Amino acid sequence: MLAQFVKPYVKSDKNDIIDAEAIAEAATRQTFVAVKEADQVEPQPLHRIRDQVVGSRTRLINEVRVFSLQYRVPQRQGVGIFKLELPLE
């Protein structure tokens, strides 16, 4: 059992007997977790997917920048500028 869950039940200075009593008391107490509402649960996957899409777009842009720098074609920062300056041919 983690110490952070036992600490509230320790009554005095540390020794094995007091620690054992605190662990036993903490183990017998139940902690309740609130059930999340549907409107709290639904946005979480959307935020995770958005973060993944933004991360993959950033990785791709950085890879193209490195590739273009190998051929001495500098690129400025920023997604909008990158799209404007990207040579299509």
Check: CB of residue 13 under 8 Å from CB of residue 30: no
Residue partners of 29: CB distance under 8 A and separation at least 6: 9
Please state the pTM of the whole predicted model. 0.47
Check: CB of residue 1 under 8 Å from CB of residue 21: no
Going from N- to C-terminal start, the domains of the chain cover 1-32, 37-89
Please give the single-letter amino acid code of residue 61.
I
pLDDT 10s digits, 18-68: 777 777 877 787 776 788 887 777 777 888 999 999 999 999 988 988 888
